[in-house]
Every structure is written in structure tokens, then in C-alpha cells.
Homo-oligomer: A and B are copies of this chain.
Amino acid sequence: MLGLGKMGPRRRHGIEPTLAGVDGVPTPTPEDRFTFGLWTVGNRGRDPFGHEVRPPLDPVEAVHRLAELGAYGVNFHDDDLVPPGSSAAGRASILGRFRRALDATGMKVPMATTNLFSHPVFKEGAFTANDPAVRRYALAKTLDAIELGVELGAGVYVMWGGREGTECDAAKDVRLALDRYKEAVDLCCAHVRDRGYDLRFALEPKPNEPRGNLLLPTVGHALAFVERLEWPEMVGINPEFAHETMSGLSFHQAVAQVLWAGKLFHVDLNGQVPGKFDQDFRFASEGLKDAFHLVRLLEEARWDGMRHFDAHAYRTEDADGVWEFARGCMRSYLILREKARRFAADPEIAAALDEAMAGRIAEPTSPGGHAPDAIAAIRRGPHDPDGLGARGYGHERLDQLVTELLLGVR
């Protein structure tokens, strides 16, 4: 009989072991640094062709439910927590209730952000709108939201420029738009410096949707943009699985470049199929192999920031489905983390990595550095391209071992 998984009381008793770890999957805890947006568990299932299917979710309930499930914290856009147009008293009351929920549960608000995309005012852009009045309003709204975030203890401020883009390319001078984008980020940094806040910014790239083409469409474009800012050290990246995958790019490879550049300030996890609309599915429900390599990378890099799930339940779900969704995101991360540990410990995988010479990428090409004679020596050789080219690297075996590790047969 073939035992692909593992046996346990789970199957015999039919009990629900998810939170108890009876099936061997660890129960999420705050130490795992899992966070959700209020807008994710609060997503009501509206889509371009359909109305809302779920009732509004009280942020306070979200805090309690997520705490029970083992999350570390919640994040929000300004409007998610305090409805636009609230009075000062209304705002204070909302914040008071919300803070009490945080205090009661120990939940944190590690990240905050601004909704610069829903209101018609932003239809032509926010930080890069042609109209300076729109840009000023976008900046003011952001500054207010920074205050709100700082008030609640956020250490990272995410900027997703969901309306910074075009359908009609003639209408936007891209180089000037990048000037304005830089100006806006610089102004936010200046404000934070003036106030002495301990807050860093993370740009979240996306290739398209809702605009035909968005500025800073990939992790790379955003990383490059940061280098032209006034205070580049204050600004990093918030890569999102779905956004990079929409363009058919490797997400874990993108995150690796962000880490390499010292710019991973936050990360958004979800599921997505390449070349489709922004799906924001449950983490690891699509793109399982890339998700595994991502988790392996984050754990190997000892990433100590948040694992934020920017996703939502399918529209087929009622409220119960929302919590299954949240639980599933965390479980899959923990299962993949365990597989990453096994990857590191598996002797056959280690042998295959040796066969692939994986460790030798750490050796310098030029042990003598940039010195002219070191370079000359390399140029001189001798070189044996035909001999080197005859070697096999055993990638089929290695990749199959990874596949079988994923499938639980090793």
C-alpha cells in the first residue's frame, strides 16, 4: 500500500485538526508574522461583472477572528477603517473601538496604506495625475493616512499606484510623470523625517489593471525608481506574488533580486495564474512551485518582516469560507516552510545539488579581483569549452526530487 502522506488520528476520527496541529501541520502563531489586510477578509466579492455577495465585515470582528486563527496583525487602507467623510468624533470612536480590539488580542498594525484608487478623483492618476489639484489631494490624503498608520504603530507604509498609468498613451508624458511620482514619494519622506517618525515606505509594483498599463509595472522598475529618490534608504519594495506573476515573471526570482538589493520591506502573498486578470487567490492555490521556492528563499534569508496575505476568498464563499481562506493561506505557508527545511536536510537533494555544482556559484570568477593581471590570467586561460560543455548538470533529477518533496513522497 502506497503511503503518500502521513497517517494520524485525523482521518480515523474525522475531527477538524487544523488549529490543533494534530495532522502535523503547525498551528499558526504570532511568531510566524502572518498579517492580513482588512480589505482581504473584508472583501465582499464584488467583481467587474457581479455585485457583492457577502455582508460588510466589522474591522473589530476581523481583528478577533484573525487573532484566533493565529495571525500577527492586520493592515488597512485609510478608508478600510475610517469611512471617507467621517466626522472627527466618528473617527475617534472608530479608532477607540479598533484599538481596544488590538489591545484585547495583542494584534498589531505593522503596515498602513492609502486608498488612492477608488474615488473618481483619481481616475486619471493620483501622484501622477496631470492635474496638480488632484496630485495635491492625493498627497494630503496620504499624509493623513500616514498619521493614522503611525498612530496605530505601523512601521511600513505601502504605496500601490493603482491609477498611475494610461490607456491613452498620448495623454501622459511618462518622464514627467516619473518626476511627479518621485516628487510625491520625496514629499512623503520629507514629512516623515520632519516628524521624526520611524516609518519606511514600500512601493508595490503592478503591470496593469485597473489601468491599461501602470507605471512601475514590475519589481525591477520599482527598484530602479527608488535609486533616483531623494532619500532612497527610506524606500523599498513590497513585491506581490500575483502582480509579478501576471506578467509571467518568476516571483521568487524577483524577491531574490529585491533581497540582493537590500530592499525587501514587505511582501504580499497570494495565488495567480500568468497572463490573466488580478486574481488574488489564496496563497499557494496557484503557482505552487514558485510559492515553495519563495518560502525557501524567505526562510533562508531569515526574513524577519511580515508575511502579508493580499488575497481574498472566492466569490462562491459566504463568511465561513472567508475564514477557511485565511486559514488556508497560513497553513500552506507553514507546510511549505516545513518542506523548505526538509529540502535543506535531504541527502539525495544535497547530492543532486552537488551534481549541479550549486554551491560553487559562491566562488568568485576572479579570485584576484579587478587587478589587470588577474583579468589577463583569466583571459589567457587555458579554457576547455568542449570539455566543459559535455558535462551534464542533473537538473532533471534535482527538479524531480523537488517535485516529489512537494508532493509529499519524500
Contact = CB atoms under 8 A, between A and B. Distances in A.
Contacts of A324: 394, 396-397, 400
Copies in the complex: 4
A51 B191 contact: no
Interface string A284-324: 11101110010001000100000000000111111111101
A26 B78 CA distance: 51
A358 B388 contact: no
A174 B248 contact: no
Interface string A379-404: 11101111011111111111111111
B342 A4 contact: yes
Given A282-B399, A396-B282, A335 B194 contact: no
23 contacts: A4-B5, A11-B346, A50-B120, A123-B389, A124-B316, A130-B357, A130-B361, A140-B378, A167-B316, A170-B401, A173-B361, A187-B370, A187-B375, A190-B370, A213-B250, A220-B224, A246-B248, A247-B249, A288-B406, A320-B394, A321-B392, A331-B400, A406-B408
A47 interface: yes
Contacts of A48: 46-48, 209-210, 277-278
Contact of A6 (B131, B134, B176, B409): B409
Contacts of A191: 372, 375
A247 B175 CA distance: 21
